[in-house]
Amino acid sequence: MNGPRFNEFIQSPKVRVIDHEGENLGVMFTREAMEQAQSVGLDLVEVSPNADPPVAKFLDVGKYKYEAQKKANIARKSQKTQEIKEIKMRPNIDDHDYDTKMKAIHKFLGEGDKVKITLRFRGRELSHGQLGMILLKRVQDDTAEIAKIESYPRMEGRQMLMVISPK
């Protein structure tokens, strides 16, 4: 476990002690510090073992562990996983269809997701790769202010792929 070590340190005869209110009680013998902590009903916890002398603090270990776990749970909940949404197009897409796909791309980018744009070539379209590059350049220009290119256009078999992510 990272962080404070609980009642396992008594390697140093003296420690710098901080009480439960955050006040520095000064340097004292470890045994004396442990007795003072127990008299208050708390544990003596080593906070900074590498200091000279080591720093120890009066804490309620159970409460400390509970608070740490609670913070970790809140951090996990507030974390948003970034998904990759896929938009499929053809190289000779019509203007209205293109506009509809662009609305979806803007919505996905607004939600904080990456967008993978896939152009599928069929038959003789494969010999006109420049049409795909022109279309992906158009997508890049239309999303320039809200997105950056993460993966530049590349051919994979019969498809051309490009990945953009929100700025």
CATH superfamily of 5-77: Translation initiation factor 3 (IF-3), N-terminal domain (3.10.20.80)
What is the helix (H) or strand (E) element at residue 137, kind and residue range? helix 129-142
* Ranges of each domain in the chain: 5-77, 84-166
114-126 pLDDT, tens digit each: 999 999 999 888 8
What is the helix (H) or strand (E) element at residue 96, kind and residue range? helix 95-110
pLDDT at 82 over 60: yes
The one-letter amino acid code at 108 reads F
Q: What is the predicted pLDDT for the residue at 138?
A: 92
5-77 and 84-166 in the same fold: no
Cβ atoms of 52 and 16 within 8 Å: the answer is no
139-157 pLDDT, tens digit each: 999 998 999 999 999 999 9
Q: Which residues contact residue 128 at a Cβ distance below 8 angstroms, ignoring those fewer than 6 apart?
A: 91
Q: What is the mean pLDDT of the chain?
A: 86
In the structure, what pLDDT confidence band is assigned to residue 4 with cuts at 50, 70 and 90? low
- Whether pTM > 0.75 for this model: the answer is no
pLDDT at 6 over 80: no
Q: What is the predicted pLDDT for the residue at 70?
A: 92
In the structure, what pLDDT confidence band is assigned to residue 104 with cuts at 50, 70 and 90? very high
Q: Give domain 84-166's CATH number out of 3.30.420.40, 3.40.50.2000, 3.30.110.10, 3.10.129.10.
A: 3.30.110.10
In the structure, what pLDDT confidence band is assigned to residue 8 with cuts at 50, 70 and 90? very low
